[in-house]
Amino acid sequence: MRTFNEIKNTIETGLGRYSCDLKLANVRLVNVFSSEIYDTNISIKNGRIVSIDPSVELEALETIDCHGHYAVPGLIDSHMHFETTMLSPEALASVVVPQGTTTLCADLMEIANVAGTDGLKAMLESISRLPYRMLIEVSSRVPTAPGLETNGAYMGAEAVREIMDWQEAVSLGELDPSKILFVGDDYIEKIADTLARRKIVNGHAIGRMGQELNVYASAGISDDHECVTPEELLARLRVGMSVLIREGSTERNVDELISGVVREGLPLDNLMFCTDDKHPGEIKHEGHINYNVSRSIELGMKPMDAIKLATINAAKHFRLEDEIGVIAPGRLADVLIIPDLKTMRPEKVFFEGKLVAENGSLTQECPVSVYPEWIKNTVHLMKPMTADAFIKPAITKEGSAEVLVIDLIDRQIINRKLVTALPCSNGQILPDIERDIAKLAVVERYGKTGGVGIGFVRGFGLRSGALAFSTSHDHHNIVTVGANDADMALAVNTVASMQGGLCVADGGSVLAKMCLPIGGLMSEKTADEVMAELDVLNREAKNLGCTGSAPFMTLSFISLPTVPELGLTDMGLVDVLEHKLIQVEQ
């Protein structure tokens, strides 16, 4: 919020009465308002842009010669979750800021589902020290699927209303169709409160088309980040919803969607980019939102258009174009100096007029806060797991049983229902490792019920051992996949003993593990340390046969009861579209 004194000071600086703090001289300005690129200087005072006029000569305390390189607005991630990066907000800075991202629109629903409003407040303690902007998409689903899962907290309409008044709150976080199609009054109240504040409502319309999509949009939903085909993208544009084109670790949508947009010549005004869920190693080596831009250019989109999707389009969507998303007078001075628009690798990153990253690194460390002890004590199994806890009783005692299996789709979080026969022995249904069908389980971790949901999954490639992870969307119980029950029990117990984390076990031994103590979701370590540990875990998972590039990210989404067609929670197997528990054995 700009004050009287700030506005007056900016005006008087532009009139030459005061010196600017900084001049970025000799730039090629990428003006996303006028769709022009031209030579000029950028004058900055108190974190805001005073002038971009090429003919004006304002004095500045410091001048940086940018050698004719491009000046691009800071990039905006229009939807993400800190928790799935496994990094604290401070540690994430070293990964995303050097890539040119200066604004993150974060739905903190993961920590909210674990620790409620207090968890959100603990996360926000870091905001004033971050070299980027954290905006909040206020979590709408805490819990995500009432009656289908056990989680750690509850945030009703009154709590959401309070948080929506926080300065950082820009929208109501992703709301899945079941809350509207089943006419949930509590959720409709949250929508009404949000719209009354002239803020937007983020969507999560995975798999919905036709009249269901029309009904969903009619509730006031503004966008969707779950499109996987150009047909779905166009359907959302037709009903007045914007599309957030996502490129995460397991949700790779840029190639398919941008190719379709370019091929069909679809309008771009209501398209923008997000990552949703992307592991830090992939961000560091591949890129963040700058990857979405550069890949879109490779796919045939004009550089100016691709940059608009990452800047002004997102700013307008969140009604923030008067502050961010463009290099123009009065706006906050988030500026990238980039030698080559096609590669989109920043040489320098300025956040609110300060140089925060240069040549791929932060200019100053951003140490991790000391988080309160209570938020590092959220995993409470009612009793240690044993192999017997993962037995799936069979109606058919011997021979085989017809079973519903979660069938993974490569590079996506959606899955298919697979009905197939699995062997039965001694009254229990067994996995079929030769056919790549492993056992899957979700263990309640809040000490409330002790429930264990058991099912089966195809597509992990696991030949032996087990994986376990305390990030299982959105309830964040402990999810495990395994070739045998004993290693599943070992992996789950190891995760619980660390108060959250990841584990790979095989043959009765722990092969690798990583501690995630902040809500059982995030590490207190640096990004480099987390990436190194995750590399070891992924390597050990691959040695056990896992074929995906991000097996733990895949594992975290299997338990999501809002992504079609099936999900598994601590209460059992969920038919996502019908929003109900169903039997594994048919």
Domain assignment present for 567: yes
Tokens 């995760």 locate to 495
Q: What's the CA gap between 73 and 335, in Å, rounded?
A: 5
Q: Which residues contact 286 (CB under 8 A, 6 or more apart)?
A: none
Quote the pLDDT of residue 398. 75
Does residue 438 share a domain with residue 292?
no
Domain assignment present for 498: yes
State pLDDT tens for residues 426-438.
899 999 999 999 9
State pLDDT tens for residues 544-562.
999 988 899 899 888 888 8
pLDDT beyond 80 at 542: yes
Domain assignment present for 351: no
Confirm if 134 and 128 have CB atoms less than 8 A apart: no
For residue 225, the domain's CATH number is: 3.20.20.140
Domain assignment present for 526: yes
Quote the pLDDT of residue 183. 86
Q: Which helix (H) or strand (E) holds 190?
A: helix 185-196
Does residue 574 share a domain with residue 457?
yes
Domain assignment present for 355: no
Kindly report the CA angle at 539 between 538 and 545, in degrees rounded to 5?
Answer: 90
Q: Which helix (H) or strand (E) holds 196?
A: helix 185-196
State pLDDT tens for residues 174-217.
999 989 998 889 999 999 999 999 999 999 998 899 999 999 99
State pLDDT tens for residues 320-378.
999 999 999 999 999 999 999 999 999 999 999 999 999 999 999 998 888 999 999 99
**Domain range for 578:** 374-582
pLDDT beyond 80 at 66: yes
Tokens 């979660």 locate to 406
State pLDDT tens for residues 496-515.
999 999 999 999 999 999 99
Does residue 309 share a domain with residue 177?
yes
pLDDT beyond 70 at 91: yes
pLDDT band of residue 61 (cuts 50, 70, 90) is: very high
Nearest to 227 by CA among 208, 199, 250, 210: 208
Does residue 522 share a domain with residue 398?
yes
Task: Give 461: exposed, middle or buried? Use CB within 10 Å, 0-12, 13-18, 19+.
Answer: middle
Of 290, 325, 360, the last residue of a domain is: 325
Question: In this structure, how many other beta carbons lie within 10 angstroms of the beta carbon of residue 374?
Answer: 11
Distances (CA, A) of 213 to 102, 195, 223, 560, 567: 33, 19, 12, 20, 21
pLDDT band of residue 93 (cuts 50, 70, 90) is: very high
Render 432-457 in DSSP notation, one character per residue.
Answer: BGGGTEEEEEEE--SSSS--EEEEEE
Render 270-333 in DSSP notation, one character per residue.
Answer: TEEEE-BS--HHHHHHH-SHHHHHHHHHHTT--HHHHHHHHTHHHHHHTT-TTTSSS--TTSB-
Tell me the average pLDDT across 101-123: 94
Tell me the average pLDDT across 521-547: 95
Tell me the average pLDDT across 87-101: 97
Within its chain, how far is the Cα of 512 from the centroid? 25
Of 266, 296, 325, the last residue of a domain is: 325
Quote the pLDDT of residue 397. 67
Q: What's the CA gap between 356 and 65, in Å, rounded?
A: 17
State pLDDT tens for residues 283-301.
999 999 999 999 999 999 9
Does residue 403 share a domain with residue 278?
no
Domain assignment present for 65: no
Task: Give 238: exposed, middle or buried? Use CB within 10 Å, 0-12, 13-18, 19+.
Answer: exposed
